[in-house]
Amino acid sequence: MLDAIFFVLRMGCQWHALDATGICSGATAHRRFQECEQAGLFDALWAAALADYDAGVGLDWSFMSIDGSMGKARWEAVLRARTRPIAGSSGSSAA
């Protein structure tokens, strides 16, 4: 079941796309994903992976960054300014 969950997380596909892979049902995988998330499994895996890497290689905690590309777009981004019409054209040149 974890294979199916990691497949969706790695590929970025929708849960129902699993139905075509033959791994398992998308509905079943999604239900199990929710159960694992609520049980804290993924947080525990992340903590264990960090501890293992820190013990083997070492983490440099003096440098950390946050990637803002995962955040939602600001509401202003939805509003597009209209462009001025091109000479000889009565319509807007914006799509």
Give Cβ neighbours of residue 16 (< 8 Å, ≥ 6 apart).
Answer: 26, 27
- The predicted model scores a pTM of 0.59
93 lies in some domain:
no
Q: For 16-28, what is each residue's pLDDT tens digit?
A: 999 999 999 999 9
89 lies in some domain:
no
Half-sphere exposure of 14 (CA within 13 A, CB side): 4
From CA 83, how far away is CA 89, in angstroms rounded?
12
74 lies in some domain:
no
Range of the domain at 50: 1-55
83 lies in some domain:
no
Please, what is the average pLDDT of the chain?
A: 82
60 lies in some domain:
no
**Which of the four pLDDT bands, split at 50, 70 and 90, describes residue 75?**
low
Q: How many folded domains does the chain comprise?
A: 1
64 lies in some domain:
no
- Integer-rounded Cα radius of gyration of the chain: 23
Only one residue has tokens 């199990």, namely 32
24 lies in some domain:
yes
21 lies in some domain:
yes
Report residue 90 as tokens: 């009565």
